[in-house]
């Protein structure tokens, strides 16, 4: 049976095995998909060991940039992002790296939430691997502006330079921002610690601005609660993004496109029940 895995540290909370199990049941595929705790000091060695027999892997925090460095071949979007969340062992034994985060995010926003991002003012919070993986896909939606804001402005400026040829992207510090935007995407790790990014509530235009947190949990994240408190039109968590990026990987690995909607609905119900 073909073996797949998701690498992370921590990893016990991962819903990826459940997502791929449901995709497999839905499409009549036989596969083994598990979660694997990789050591912080030796992701590469752990991954190489898995791929002696394994076929594919998803990669989550904090290993996406380690996975990038491990690859023999990179898709153009992964190469530009400098981060990989999907590894595939090819027929010749080489490792192919891709980044499906941006596709997953855009599919969640446009298909599941029904948003049109063209002509919108988008604010992206953070400048780490999660941000690098979604900029290209967001710019492909033709927003009027995409601002990357980060505590360390130099990191945001570097990303603005890397992606400058793809669309209207700019860098900012958190405290430079005051004017309302249409979409705020939180890609910082603040929610993991129960904190908020240090941004002003003036960025939310009540009834208009959509707020999206890449993190998710049984309860609304602090960022989503903050968004609701200040009148955001929608406050969305990142679970849909997780399911959608998994669907992209599953389709590549197995050659069949799963239907994300019923899987997303079932797992959200299970999360709510605890």
Instruction: Look at residue 218 in the predicted model and tell me its pLDDT.
Output: 87
Is it true that domain 2-99+240-273 has CATH number 3.90.1310.10?
no
Cβ contacts of 66-71, under 8 Å, gap ≥ 24:
67/7, 67/43, 67/97, 68/97, 69/44, 70/43, 70/44, 70/95, 70/97, 71/95, 71/96, 71/97
For the chain, how big is the Rg over CA atoms in Å?
Answer: 18
> pLDDT value at position 271?
85
Which residues belong to the active site? 64
State how far the Cα of 142 lies from the Cα of 37, in Å rounded to an integer.
38
Superfamily covering domain 102-237: NAD(P)-binding Rossmann-like Domain (3.40.50.720)
The sign of the torsion formed by the CA atoms of 112, 113, 115, 120 equals negative
Distance CA(6)–CA(21), nearest Å, equals: 13
What's the CA gap between 66 and 84, in Å, rounded? Answer: 8
Peptide bond connecting 8 to the previous residue in cis, omega within 30 degrees of 0: no
- In total, the chain counts a number of residues equal to 274
pLDDT in tens for each of the 274 residues of the chain? 999 999 999 999 899 999 999 999 999 999 999 999 999 999 999 999 999 999 999 999 899 999 999 999 999 999 999 999 999 999 999 999 999 999 999 999 999 999 999 999 999 999 988 899 999 999 999 999 999 999 999 999 999 999 999 999 999 999 999 999 999 999 998 887 788 999 999 999 999 999 999 998 889 999 999 999 999 999 999 999 999 999 999 999 999 999 999 999 999 999 888 7
Phi, psi of 172 (to 5 degrees): -160, 155
Q: b vs e for 57-74, b when ≥16 Cβ sit within 10 Å of the residue's Cβ?
A: bbbbbbbbbbbbebbeeb
Q: For position 128, what pLDDT does the model report?
A: 87
pLDDT at 73: 98
Which residue intervals of the chain bear CATH 3.40.50.10860?
A: 2-99+240-273
Q: CATH 3.40.50.720 in the chain, residues? A: 102-237
Q: How far does Cα 133 stand from its chain's mean position?
A: 7
Within 68-193, strands assigned E span 73-74, 86-89, 95-98, 121-125, 145-149, 169-172, 183-186
Q: Helix, strand or coil for residue 8? A: strand
Closest by CA to 6, choosing from 45, 70, 50, 42, is 50
Q: What is the pTM of this model?
A: 0.94
């Amino acid at each position: 049976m073909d073996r797949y895995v998701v690498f992370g540290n921590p990893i016990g909370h991962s819903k990826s095995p459940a997502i791929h199990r449901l995709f497999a049941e839905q499409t009549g595929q036989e596969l083994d998909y598990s979660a694997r705790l990789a050591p912080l000091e030796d992701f590469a060695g752990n991954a190489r060991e898995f791929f002696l027999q394994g076929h594919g892997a998803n990669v989550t925090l904090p290993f996406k940039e380690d996975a990038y460095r491990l690859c023999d071949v990179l898709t153009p979007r992964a190469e530009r992002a400098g981060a990989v969340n999907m590894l595939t062992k090819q027929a010749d034994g080489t490792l192919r790296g891709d980044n499906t985060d941006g596709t997953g995010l855009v599919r969640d926003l446009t298909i599941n939430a029904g948003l049109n991002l063209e002509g919108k003012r988008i604010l992206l919070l953070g400048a780490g691997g999660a941000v690098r993986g979604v900029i290209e896909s967001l710019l492909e939606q033709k927003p009027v502006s995409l601002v990357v804001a980060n505590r360390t402005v130099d990191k945001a400026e570097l990303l603005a330079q890397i992606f400058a040829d793809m669309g209207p992207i700019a860098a900012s510090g958190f405290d430079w921002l005051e004017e309302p935007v249409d979409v705020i995407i939180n890609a910082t790790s603040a929610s993991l610690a129960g904190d908020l990014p240090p941004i002003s509530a003036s960025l939310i235009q009540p009834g208009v601005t959509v707020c999206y947190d890449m993190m998710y949990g049984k309860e609304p994240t602090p960022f989503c609660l903050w968004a609701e408190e200040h009148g955001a039109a929608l406050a969305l968590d990142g679970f849909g993004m997780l399911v959608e990026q998994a669907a992209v990987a599953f389709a590549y690995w197995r050659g069949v496109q799963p239907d994300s909607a019923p899987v997303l609905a079932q797992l959200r119900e299970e999360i709510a029940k605890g």
